[in-house]
Amino acid sequence: MDYFWTEEQIMLRDLARQIARERIVPVRAELDEKEEFPRQLMKDLAAADLFGVVIPEEYGGLGFGCLENCLVVEELAWGCAGVTTSFAASALGSYPLLLFGSEEQKKKYLPAIASGTKLAAFALTESTAGSDAAGIQTRAVKDGDHYVLNGTKQWITNAGEADIYSVIAITDPAKGARGASAFLVEKGDPGFSFGKKETKMGIRASCTGELIFQDCRLPAERLLGREGLGFIVVMKTFDQSRPGVGAQAIGLAQAALDEAAAFARTRVQFGKAIINFQAVQHMLADMATQIEAARALVYSVARFIDSGAKEVSKESAMAKCFPSDVAMRATTDAVQILGGHGYMREYPVEKMMRDAKILQIYEGTNQIQRNIIGQELNKEYGRRK
Amino acid sequence: MNIMVCIKQVPETRKVKIDPETHTLIRQGVESMINPFDLFAVEAALRLKDEKGGKVVAVTMGPPQAEEALREVVALGVDEVALFSDRAFAGADTWATSYVLAQGARKLGPFDLIVCGKQAVDGDTAQVGPGLAERLGWPYVAFVRRIRGLDGRDMVVERLMDDGYDVVRFAPPALLTVVKEIGEIRVPSFKGKMRAKNLKVPVLSAADIEADPEMCGLKGSATRVIKVFAPKPREKRELWEGEAEELAQRLLHRLSEDKIISIAV
């Protein structure tokens, strides 16, 4: 399908594609096996200017929008969803700053994130706060011109590898959801340390771990926006980032389809290549159709977001939920088409299937996405007379 | 440190074919690429620049479309480029090519270092680099696998040999030809690609580089290509494995069977 990209968009996509093919694919199995953070690849992506895609040019970025970010993420995820998670988590960590940062905060942090010399991370989840963000227990207490943070964040992508963390903490427990605030925390801040690194089912080329705050004193200027804005920061950040998860899903699903179709053309059973059997053809046809539908949805929503639309939660949730369900199905079917080969680690599709699962879980489970879509529908139809 | 890198646009090697009638390369419709070894030269130069500062200037001699090769290296981080293009340059052998490159280096320089790939994959002569150094009266080191760095005014490099490597020390200005062990070629950057896209490639003629047309191109070439031919594909071969004595017996029988030799009984 031709989506009529501009020359610049094609250049950007081709650059990401080149990195995926030349740099990521050759090392992905080893990174997965060793559960290793892809430091060299992060350097390559930085040298290619790709960490700056969504950051305005005045802060050293490329000044593109959600759509171009999706293009890059899709291409990288075709190579490895784990590596892409490490990459995309930096954008996720920088959205609070982009959306709510003061001019001073942006000037201080964005150039380093754009150049890739520093990675960012986003920290919301805690042991008692997953889908229910109101369960956050990390506290930030004002103390003169400082805030003092106490608590533990878990399952934070890029924990320990990132230098800049957007952290959600409760400043006023009496106010419930309106009592949360967002802070910028730097690696090396006093009282800020890292806990255990998790071992995971998939996306093993990404690093997931704990952030521990023990009387972590932050200058007051590390507050993003103002006190009480924490959940707004979270929601607006996810509105921007969720199509990126969708893009990751379509890149991964496309890779699974590519593997499955290529295999089906060469695998001979009953005297012919198995792609000639309708049972296989129909699986491939469904994969291809669903992937294209997901892709069109992701691009449309990204364009909608880039148009400056105010209310994008419903569309953004759709652009995460549908593609990630497609990716789970497509990768599962790819394993099925490869059969015994697909189940073996020697072939890349079992990793793809393991990697796909997280896309239905992180940045809001797909059940939460459906809640968002449903609630928005309820609002929309409620307005109608 | 100011570095000149010589690159060459060559036919995409995996796709090139030879016309069985004329015995010449079928160039029509064949994509071009940068000679792979020259990309290692670019990488070596960019690494030196990353470390020591200065600038990297990439040059090529070729037809107007060779500017695409120059754009490609700008995307990698090369600062300036120049295309030496003139009808008078056509048909050059390595001798005439090195003359044009030397004139170009004099015009664009001064340079501390010139880096070339060890050879081009189309001609495979490995002569242009050393020839250029001779033209300039510079020392050169061929087949460099690693640049150790500067030691005072001297530069220290490792030269790949069949049985290991030599450590060579010399005082720039000098010329190096590099092998692929020099290091992995970087990926382009988006900003580099944008620069490359918008770049106007300077085209320098024989007059621009003060080259004597008599010494350029076919006229200035010391060699003539009489014939290029594709060797006939080899006929059916068999590979035998086993002990020497047994194989010798088998061979003897076979040669006798095929009536190539006759065994006196």
CA distance A316 to A70: 12
pLDDT band at B146 (very low <50, low <70, confident <90, very high): very high
CB proximity B191 to A under 8 Å: yes
Which region among A91-100, A264-273, A305-314, B7-16 has the lowest average model confidence (pLDDT)? B7-16
The answer as to whether B224 is a domain residue is: no
ipTM of the complex: 0.89
The answer as to whether B260 is a domain residue is: no
> pLDDT at position B152, please?
85
Q: Which residues in chain B are contacts of A62 at CB distance < 8 A? A: 190-191
Give residue-wise pLDDT tens across range A298-334. 999 999 999 999 999 999 999 999 999 999 999 999 9
Select from A7, A11, A22 the Cβ nearest to the Cβ of B190: A11
Q: Which residues pair with A223 in a beta bridge?
A: A183
Question: In angstroms, what separates the C-alpha of A49 from chain B's closest C-alpha?
Answer: 6
Q: What is the 3-state secondary structure (H, E, C) of chain A?
A: CCCCCCHHHHHHHHHHHHHHHHHHHHHHHHHHHHCCCCHHHHHHHHHCCHHHCCCCHHHCCCCCCHHHHHHHHHHHHHHCHHHHHHHHHHHHHHHHHHHHCCHHHHHHHHHHHHHCCCCEEEECCECCECCCHHHCCCEEEEECCEEEEEEEEEEEECCCCCCEEEEEEECCHHHHHHHEEEEEEECCCCCEEEEEECCCCCCCCCCEEEEEEEEEEEEHHHEECCCCCHHHHHHHHHHHHHHHHHHHHHHHHHHHHHHHHHHHHHCEECCEEHHHCHHHHHHHHHHHHHHHHHHHHHHHHHHHHHCCCCCCHHHHHHHHHHHHHHHHHHHHHHHHHHCHHHHCCCCCHHHHHHHHHHHCCCCCCHHHHHHHHHHHHHHHHHHCC
CB proximity B87 to A under 8 Å: no
Assign residue B137 a region (left: φ > 0; alpha: ψ between -120 and 50; beta: otherwise): left
CA closest to B196 among chain A residues: A11
The answer as to whether B262 is a domain residue is: no
Give residue-wise pLDDT tens across range B109-127. 899 999 999 988 887 888 9
CA closest to B186 among chain A residues: A44
CA distance A185 to A196: 19
Give residue-wise pLDDT tens across range B65-93. 999 999 999 999 999 999 999 999 988 88
Q: Which residues in chain B are contacts of A48 at CB distance < 8 A? A: 187-190
**A99 CB-near residues (< 8 Å, 6+ apart):** A233, A236, A237, A240
Q: Which residues pair with A204 in a beta bridge?
A: none
Give pTM, 2 decimals. 0.88
CB proximity B195 to A under 8 Å: no
CB proximity B194 to A under 8 Å: yes
Select from A8, A12, A18 the Cβ nearest to the Cβ of B187: A18
Q: Do A11 and B191 count as a contact with CB atoms less than 8 A apart?
A: no
> pLDDT at position B27, please?
65
> pLDDT at position B17, please?
73
What is the percent of chain B where pLDDT is above 70?
A: 95
Number of domains in chain B: 1
Count of CB atoms within 10 A of residue B119's CB? Answer: 21
> pLDDT at position B109, please?
85
Question: In angstroms, what separates the C-alpha of A61 from chain B's closest C-alpha?
Answer: 10
Question: In angstroms, what separates the C-alpha of A100 from chain B's closest C-alpha?
Answer: 27
Select from A15, A23, A44 the Cβ nearest to the Cβ of B190: A15
CB proximity B186 to A under 8 Å: yes
> pLDDT at position B238, please?
86
> pLDDT at position B23, please?
62
CB pairs under 8 A between A and B: 33
**How confident is the model over A57-72, as a mean pLDDT?**
97
Asked if A58 is an active-site residue, the reply is no
CB proximity A102 to B under 8 Å: no
C-alpha distance from residue A44 to each of A18, A19, B55, B76, B195 (Å): 11, 8, 22, 12, 19
What is the percent of chain B where pLDDT is above 90?
A: 68
Count of CB atoms within 10 A of residue A301's CB? Answer: 28
pLDDT band at B22 (very low <50, low <70, confident <90, very high): low
> pLDDT at position A185, please?
98
> pLDDT at position A281, please?
98
The answer as to whether B265 is a domain residue is: no
> pLDDT at position B150, please?
86
Select from B186, B188, B197 the Cβ nearest to the Cβ of A15: B188
CA distance A275 to B154: 63
User: What CATH superfamily classification does A7-118 receive?
Assistant: Acyl-CoA dehydrogenase/oxidase, N-terminal domain (1.10.540.10)
* Substitution target from B187, B191, B197, B198 for chain A, most A beta carbons within 10 A: B187
Q: Do A62 and B190 count as a contact with CB atoms less than 8 A apart?
A: yes
Q: What is the CATH number of the domain that holds B85?
A: 3.40.50.620
Give residue-wise pLDDT tens across range A176-220. 889 999 999 999 999 999 999 999 999 999 999 999 999 999 999
Select from B186, B187, B190 the Cβ nearest to the Cβ of A12: B190
Residue ranges of domains in chain A:
7-118, 121-228, 231-380
pLDDT at A359 over 70: yes
**A366 CB-near residues (< 8 Å, 6+ apart):** A320, A321, A324, A325, A360
> pLDDT at position B24, please?
62
pLDDT at A284 over 90: yes
Q: Do B188 and A7 count as a contact with CB atoms less than 8 A apart?
A: no
> pLDDT at position B141, please?
95
pLDDT band at B25 (very low <50, low <70, confident <90, very high): low
Question: In angstroms, what separates the C-alpha of B264 from chain A's closest C-alpha?
Answer: 52
CB proximity A25 to B under 8 Å: no
> pLDDT at position B228, please?
76
Q: Do B189 and A47 count as a contact with CB atoms less than 8 A apart?
A: yes
Give residue-wise pLDDT tens across range A330-352. 999 999 999 999 999 999 999 99
CATH of A231-380, one of 1.20.140.10, 3.40.50.720, 3.20.20.70, 3.20.20.150: 1.20.140.10
Range of the domain at B103: 2-215
C-alpha atoms less than 13 angstroms from C-alpha of A142 in its C-beta half-sphere: 14
pLDDT at B224 over 90: no
Which region among A130-134, A179-183, A282-286, B41-45 has the lowest average model confidence (pLDDT)? A130-134
CA closest to B76 among chain A residues: A48
> pLDDT at position B226, please?
82
**A339 CB-near residues (< 8 Å, 6+ apart):** none
The answer as to whether B255 is a domain residue is: no
CB proximity A47 to B under 8 Å: yes
**How confident is the model over B7-16, as a mean pLDDT?**
81
Q: Do A15 and B187 count as a contact with CB atoms less than 8 A apart?
A: yes
Q: Which CATH class is domain A121-228?
A: mainly beta
